[in-house]
Structure 1
Amino acid sequence: TLVKTKGKLSFQEPKTKGSIRTIKVPDLAIQTLKAHKLKQKEIKLAASSAYKDHDLVVANWTGSMIDPADINADFKIACKFANVPQIRFHDLRHTHATLLLQLGENPKVVSERLGHADVSITLNTYSHVLPTMQEDLAQNFNVAMQNIKKKSL
Structure 2
Amino acid sequence: MAAYPGARRGELLNLRWSDVDLDGKQITITGSAAFIDGERIEGTTKSGRKRIVSLDDGTIRVLKAQRSKQAAGQERRGTDDHVFTTGWGEPIHPDTVSSLTATMIRRYNNPAKEPKPKEPLPHARLHDLRHIHATTPLLAGLPVHVVAARLGHADPSITLHVYAHVIRAAEASAAGIFAEAIGE
TM-score (norm 1): 0.83
Partner of 1:112: 149
Q: Residue type matched to 1:131 in 2?
A: R
Matches within 5 A, 1:4-153: 4-18=35-49, 20-43=50-73, 47-48=74-75, 50-82=76-108, 83-146=120-183
* Separation in 1, partners of 2:85, 2:78: 10
* Separation in 1, partners of 2:173, 2:80: 46
**Percentage identity across paired residues of the two chains:** 32
Q: Partner of 2:176: helix, strand, or coil?
A: helix
**In the alignment, is the contact (CA less than 8 A) between 1:9 and 1:65 conserved in 2?**
no
* Separation in 2, partners of 1:81, 1:71: 15
Q: Which one is further off, 120-129 or 25-34?
A: 25-34
Q: Where in structure 2 are there 5+ consecutive unaligned residues?
A: 1-31, 109-119
Q: Where in structure 1 are there 5+ consecutive unaligned residues?
A: none
Q: Partner of 1:90: helix, strand, or coil?
A: helix
TM-score (norm 2): 0.70
Q: Partner of 1:2: helix, strand, or coil?
A: strand
* Separation in 1, partners of 2:173, 2:72: 47
Partner of 2:23: none
Larger radius of gyration: 1
Offset of 1:99 from its aligned partner?
A: 0.8
Could you say what the CA RMSD is over the residues aligned between the two structures, in angstroms? 1.7
**In the alignment, is the contact (CA less than 8 A) between 2:78 and 2:91 conserved in 1?**
no
**In the alignment, is the contact (CA less than 8 A) between 2:135 and 2:163 conserved in 1?**
yes
Asked which structure has the greater RCO (Cα within 8 Å, sep 6+), the reply is 2
Offset of 1:53 from its aligned partner?
A: 4.2
* Separation in 1, partners of 2:54, 2:140: 17
Q: Partner of 1:81: helix, strand, or coil?
A: helix
